[in-house]
């Protein structure tokens, strides 16, 4: 299994460190893109770097963490091919994979505590995309993205 990416801002740093221990314990390889401390930083820098690596195909999946998860979601979803899902429960994590083929899991450290984060991550990583009518919709998302990027309305 190829490594997954993980990144956070200062508000997500503590949760990220706990998630890294969890991933290591499960034998899941990861690459930490930062931040590496609780010192104040700007989440868009980390969200963009992770999402760019997903968008260009270097990595297939990533996990982003900030206080609410909203900012990271906004940044990550601006890049083509990135389907970032902000998940605060196991059911949403499962549906984000089954229906949307999400490739970036976003967690809000202010809303998801470590034990719940572990359950969300386990579900998200072990749930497959259902395809079928959901594939048609993911393809439509990609078509809309191409139209936007080409300047067409």
Tokens encoding 60: 């297939």
Catalytic annotation, pick one of 10, 41, 66, 134: 66
pLDDT classification of 2: cutoffs 50, 70, 90 = low
pTM: 0.95
Q: What integer pLDDT is reported at residue 88 of this predicted model?
A: 98
Q: Residues 76, 44: contact at Cβ < 8 Å? A: no
Q: How confident is the model over 91-132, as pLDDT tens digits?
A: 999 999 999 999 999 999 999 999 999 999 999 999 999 999
Catalytic annotation, pick one of 10, 41, 99, 134: 99
Question: What domain count does the chain have?
Answer: 1
Instruction: Report whether pLDDT(149) > 90.
Output: no
99 counts as catalytic? yes
Specify the CATH number for the domain of residue 73.
Answer: 3.40.1400.10
Q: What integer pLDDT is reported at residue 101 of this predicted model?
A: 98
Q: What integer pLDDT is reported at residue 153 of this predicted model?
A: 59
Closest by CA to 117, choosing from 129, 108, 127, 126, is 108
The rounded distance, in Å, linking the Cα atoms of 117 and 122 is 8
134 counts as catalytic? no
Q: How confident is the model over 59-80, as pLDDT tens digits?
A: 999 999 999 999 999 999 999 9
Q: How confident is the model over 16-64, as pLDDT tens digits?
A: 999 999 999 999 999 999 999 999 999 999 999 999 999 999 999 999 9
Residue ranges making up the domain that contains 50: 4-149
């Amino acid at each position: 299994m190829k490594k997954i990416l993980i990144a956070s801002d200062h508000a997500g740093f503590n949760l990220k460190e706990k998630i890294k221990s969890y991933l290591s314990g499960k034998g899941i390889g990861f690459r930490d893109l930062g931040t590496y401390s609780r010192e104040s930083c700007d989440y868009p820098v980390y969200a963009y770097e992770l999402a760019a690596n997903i968008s260009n195909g270097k990595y297939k999946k990533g996990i982003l963490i900030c206080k609410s998860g909203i900012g990271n979601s906004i940044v990550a979803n601006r890049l083509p091919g990135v389907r970032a899902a902000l998940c605060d429960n196991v059911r949403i994590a499962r549906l984000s994979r089954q229906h949307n083929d999400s490739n970036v899991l976003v967690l809000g450290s202010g809303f998801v505590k470590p034990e719940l984060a572990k359950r969300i991550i386990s579900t998200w990583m072990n749930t497959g995309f259902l395809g079928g009518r959901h594939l048609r919709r993911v393809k439509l998302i990609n078509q809309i993205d191409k139209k936007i990027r080409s300047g067409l309305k």
